[in-house]
Amino acid sequence: RRALGSLGKSRAKFISAEESTGVTFDDFAGQEYIKRELQEIVRILKNEEEFQDKGIYCPKGVLLHGPPGTGKTLLAKAIAGEAGLPFFAANGTDFVEMFVGVAASRVKDLFASARSYAPSIIFIDEIDAIGSKRGGPDIGGGGAEREQGLLQILTEMDGFKVSTSQVLVIGATNRLDILDPALLRKGRFDKIIRVGLPSKDGRLAILKVHARNKYFRSEEEKEVLLQEVAELTEDFTGAELQNILNEAGILTARKDLDYIGQEELLEALKRQKGTFETGQEDSTVIPEELKLRLAYREAAVAILACYFPDPYRPFTQTNIKSIRSQPNMCYNDIPGKVFLKKSDYVKAIVRACAPRVVEEEMFGVDNLCWISSKATLEASRLAEFLILQTGMTAFGKAYYRNQSDLVPNLAAKLDALRDEYMRYAVDKCSSVLREYHSAVETITDLLLEKGEIKAEEIWAIYRRAALIPQVDGEYMGSHFLGGLHLPLAMLDFQHLV
């Protein structure tokens, strides 16, 4: 068989290539029906000609969806291992957060690599990062770039014929609801398999897989102990069960014992539950100053989300338990058609400025740090999207896929118009934050005290601040939203064309 040789080194860094994963279906336990379905695909991959004679083709794409840690990657590797095919993996997030044009070219690289070793398997983890709905309300964060990558995936999948040089594309996501429907159409990811949390029997089976290389006093004792752990671990994923056994093994070694016993297992279970409940993140390790910055950031994002609420994407809660370059605010994406107006885009741009504006306001322009730098990028990308791709601005009604479509004088015009939108958005954002200064402080304090805050509490604080007479003494009327009467948030961007 061909050796992949130096493929891992010579090709792009974001692709991980394995000639043989060495993983089999025996490594995945529980949810037997999933294995049965996938085994059939493996049979077709292995005996392509025989099946083709009968008119049976392997699907081009398989989508595995379910919570993280439930074994989706493991299953993808098992398909490759069982079929004896090389495995090319990439992560959806590697395609975005990049410069214009990179997403599409990375997708091309991935497919080209896999095709040159066909038959082969492509695995795209977190495919939602690149394949989320187009034109939806969450177009922020490189919408245009992401769309390019998504279109490239569709082109690649439509491009290869089912009968020859088979490349099976396996995608994984925990957000089936936000995937672009185009991905799920016939001839693309048309086999969709849910990988859920294991049942009690499933948990026992998974524990047994990971207990294979561990020492117990006897087979009988092992059975009894694993049964007990399976009982106590409702809602645990395979990855968490594996952790429990590993942790128990470490505790056993630390105590210089020869066999894993009940005490070690229960101790490991307790530890796993601890990390499980705090979301695997320990807020105590975040330095105080960074916590304060995070709290201000989340508070500002929350106030803007109240001032310019997005009806398609209500927020649910936020916290300061993890440090990321993007806000921690969580949203509830409402599926279905959206009808975005120009003012909705402008509001989104204003909202996106919040992290940067509040950090400059509170810490000074010389003391900005990286936790707000993505915000500027996101806001200007949104502005570019509005200008280039919606036909809603004076820029014109043509649709430009990206900047590289522009002739030089149009590029200069784009820059100027985008800057105008950005200047407006920053001003608007900072006047909202000043107006609601006290609410920002209250939310910041609560976040520092409790680590998290729910939407209801945020709305209550916002509403209280909104009912205080405005600076100019004018009450601007009210409209009805989510059962709350709010002052009507005003946009005054008519001068922006």
Which tokens hold the place of 120? 């082969």
Binding-site member from 172, 382, 440, 466 for ligand ADP (CB under 6 A): 172
For helices 288-307 and 354-363, the axis angle rounded to 10 degrees is 130
Contact 137, 338 (CB under 8 A): yes
Residue 92 sits in the site that holds ligand ADP (CB under 6 A): no
Residue 143 sits in the site that holds ligand ADP (CB under 6 A): no
Residue 340 sits in the site that holds ligand ADP (CB under 6 A): no
Whole-angstrom CA distances from 469 to 256, 362, 480, 492 are: 69, 24, 19, 20
Spatial neighbors of 328 by CB under 8 A, at least 6 apart, are 294, 298, 318, 319, 320, 321, 322
Binding mask 178-207 for ligand ADP (x = CB under 6 A): ----------------------------x-
Q: Name which of 173 and 393 has its Cβ closer to ligand ADP.
A: 173
CA dihedral 194, 195, 197, 203 (to 10 degrees): 140
Q: Which of residues 61-80 bind ligand ADP (CB under 6 A)?
A: 68-74
CB of 232 to ligand ADP, least distance (A): 18
Q: How far apart are CA 35 and CA 206, in angstroms?
A: 14
CB of 168 to ligand ADP, least distance (A): 17
Whole-angstrom CA distances from 173 to 64, 73, 484 are: 7, 10, 35
CB of 60 to ligand ADP, least distance (A): 21
Q: Which amino acid, one-letter code, is at 448?
A: L
Catalytic machinery residues: 298
Contact 371, 359 (CB under 8 A): yes
Secondary structure of residue 453 in the 3-state scheme: strand
CB of 34 to ligand ADP, least distance (A): 9
Residue 355 sits in the site that holds ligand ADP (CB under 6 A): no
Binding-site member from 7, 15, 25, 30 for ligand ADP (CB under 6 A): 30
Q: Name which of 191 and 297 has its Cβ closer to ligand ADP.
A: 191
Residue 430 sits in the site that holds ligand ADP (CB under 6 A): no
Binding-site member from 4, 15, 17, 29 for ligand ADP (CB under 6 A): 29
Stretch that binds ligand ADP, among 27-35, 250-258, 454-462, 476-484 (CB under 6 A): 27-35
Binding-site member from 25, 28, 111, 117 for ligand ADP (CB under 6 A): 28
Residue 35 sits in the site that holds ligand ADP (CB under 6 A): no
Whole-angstrom CA distances from 245 to 74, 152, 227, 254 are: 18, 42, 13, 14
Residue 238 sits in the site that holds ligand ADP (CB under 6 A): yes
Q: How far apart are CA 183 and CA 63, in angstroms?
A: 10
From the CB of residue 328, how many other CB atoms can be counted at a distance below 10 Å? 18
Q: Name which of 35 and 188 has its Cβ closer to ligand ADP.
A: 35
Q: Name which of 74 and 301 has its Cβ closer to ligand ADP.
A: 74
Q: Which of 265, 210, 261, 266 is nearest to 237 (CA)?
A: 210
CB of 209 to ligand ADP, least distance (A): 5
**Which residue do the tokens 């036909």 mark?**
391
Residues binding ligand ADP (CB under 6 A): 28-30, 68-74, 172, 206, 209, 238-239, 242
